[in-house]
Amino acid sequence: MLKDSDISPPAQSRYVRSGAVAVCSGVLTSDDVRRIDSEHLWHPYSGFPSTTTPLVVDSASGVRLTLADGRQLVDGMSSWWAAVHGYRHPVLDAAARDQLDRMSHVMFGGLTHAPAARLAELLVSITPAGLDKVFLADSGSVSVEVAVKIALQYWRGRGESGRTKLLTWRGGYHGDTFAPMSVCDPDGGMHRLWTGVLAQQVFAPAPPAASDAAGIAAYVAEFEQVLAAHANDVAAIIVEPIVQGAGGMRFHDARLLVELRRLADEYGVLLIFDEIATGFGRTGELFAADHAGIAPDIMCVGKALTGGYMTLAATLCTTEVAETVSSSEAGGLMHGPTFMGNPLACAIAVASVELLLSRDWRAEVAAVADVLTERLEPARSLPGVADVRVLGGIGVIELTGAVDMARATAVAVDAGVWLRPFGRLVYAMPPYVCTEADVAAIADAMVAVARDHT
């Protein structure tokens, strides 16, 4: 058996492969990072050679990113909507250190541990009533994959294996693996490249932004027509409740969710809510489903689950759904990631959720919304702006034309803010712990980007 004294640190060395020399230890300069990055690293939704040069981040603390050149940027993105407590929060740092002293990982097959048990108990206690079975996934996309598998296996357990279709509304985004891609918008979404390869799902029109009763009734009737036409094929309805995120940052009325619950019950199909972006307070309620006071049969959460510290997501479902899945010919849900239930991620998730609940998060999100609403107002009068909208901790300026990513980033960075626009959208989802001045800086940078594009 190895003793601690038998383990020595690796020596400083260089590896040589195919004539290339790579430093395997030691400090990299900013130029080293940029060079290695450009030669070897894929970035999200990018190619080789990259059309942009990423900024090199040296550290992050509070709500600020510190670049390698010393500049500090207020983070308007919460690192893609996850870092709701900011960075290097002492409570989350302590949770990570404490768990590392016990174990960083152990397989979840045939084993269990306190962090997973505590997280499951916590999620069941705060999510909509009836969601009491928890599958711990390793990313948001995987949690949607699992939700789809659950829905399909549910109907196999019911002896109706012909129910293989998912019904969703257009304009959605659910992730980048194949099952989630199949329920993203098939025409305007980023995954239309895969048309003909993905499973063919059923799409209703995009939900309306209008909140008048007549408009809602008209849309629900249209949605029901689509459902009725595929009533024998549909396994589940799947939507992003209240906010369609990466598909366009569109908001819709909570009464639509009530109607979806009614239609799912009436037609005997499952209802799946993808709350990966909306969960843990982002919309002003703990979960977007809470705006409607209803519960889905299956729900996905992620992103803010660990406060941005670790990759972790969860798929929750009702006991009836779980037991029916388990009665199918497979005898259980056929999915099991290597890092399922990772103890380190679970421990941090418990600390993150408890930290959120210990603060007046509603007041924090409301304060973010108030500042965004006030400071984004000047954008409404700009000629190239189609819409300005705010919901909870989400602020959006929609342009009439496409955003120039490089220009937009440069304008925001010059203002001391980190933004990541896409499509026609300049948007922000700030950490909840931002000060009024922080949120004002973010909003002002958004307006500056919009003005630069007009």
**Annotated catalytic residue: which of 138, 274, 290, 438?**
274
* Tens-digit pLDDT profile for residues 162-213: 999 999 999 999 999 999 999 998 887 777 778 888 989 999 999 999 778 9
pLDDT over 90 at 159, yes or no: yes
Q: What is the pLDDT, as a whole number, of residue 199? A: 87
Residues 6+ apart with CB under 8 A from 14: 21, 22, 23, 24
* Tens-digit pLDDT profile for residues 96-108: 999 999 999 999 9
Architecture of the domain delimited by 102-358: 3-Layer(aba) Sandwich (3.40)
Which tokens go with 31? 């130029």
Average pLDDT, the chain: 94
Q: What is the pLDDT, as a whole number, of residue 16? A: 46
* Tens-digit pLDDT profile for residues 332-373: 999 999 999 999 999 999 999 999 999 999 999 999 999 999
Q: What is the gyration radius of the CA atoms in the chain, in angstroms? A: 23
Catalytic annotation present for 132: no
Tell me which residue has tokens 């279709």. 165
Cβ burial of 289 (10 Å; 0-12, 13-18, 19+) is buried
Q: What is the pLDDT, as a whole number, of residue 10? A: 52
**Annotated catalytic residue: which of 303, 309, 432, 438?**
303
Strands 131-137 and 313-318, how do they pair?
Answer: antiparallel
Q: What is the pLDDT, as a whole number, of residue 50? A: 82
Tell me which residue has tokens 């549910």. 154
Q: What is the pLDDT, as a whole number, of residue 52? A: 83
**Annotated catalytic residue: which of 3, 15, 45, 360?**
45
φ/ψ region of 129 (left if φ > 0, alpha if ψ in -120 to 50, else beta) reads beta
Catalytic annotation present for 290: no
* 170-184, 216-230, 296-310, 413-427: the lowest-pLDDT one: 170-184
Distance CA 320, CA 298 (A): 11
Q: Where in the chain is the domain with CATH 3.90.1150.10?
A: 33-88+361-452
Q: What does 320-333 look like in DSSP terms, one character per residue?
A: HHHHHHHTSTTSS-
pLDDT over 90 at 242, yes or no: yes
Catalytic annotation present for 303: yes
Hey, which bits of 116-225 come out as E strands?
131-137, 165-169, 202-204
% of residues, the chain, pLDDT over 90 = 87
Nearest to 75 by CA among 431, 444, 448, 347: 431
Tell me which residue has tokens 């703990």. 286
3-state secondary structure of 121: helix
Residue 225: count of CB within 10 angstroms of its CB: 10
Kindly state the average pLDDT of the residues 306-327: 98
Contact 350, 122 (CB under 8 A): yes
Kindly state the average pLDDT of the residues 77-93: 99
Tell me which residue has tokens 């619950």. 261
Nearest to 14 by CA among 29, 28, 26: 26
Nearest to 446 by CA among 49, 435, 243, 418: 418
Q: What does 226-255 look like in DSSP terms, one character per residue?
A: HHHHTTTTEEEEEE-SSEETTTT-EE--HH
Q: What is the pLDDT, as a whole number, of residue 18? A: 46
Q: What is the pLDDT, as a whole number, of residue 401? A: 97
Question: In the CATH hierarchy, which fold is given to the domain comprising 33-88+361-452?
Answer: Aspartate Aminotransferase, domain 1 (3.90.1150)
Nearest to 298 by CA among 331, 267, 328, 322: 322
* Tens-digit pLDDT profile for residues 104-149: 999 999 999 999 999 999 999 999 999 999 999 999 999 999 999 9
Distance CA 164, CA 150 (A): 11
Which tokens go with 177? 């693996």
* Tens-digit pLDDT profile for residues 39-70: 999 998 888 888 888 999 999 999 999 999 99
| Banded pLDDT at 448 (limits 50, 70, 90) | very high
**Annotated catalytic residue: which of 173, 219, 309, 432?**
173
Q: What is the pLDDT, as a whole number, of residue 175? A: 93
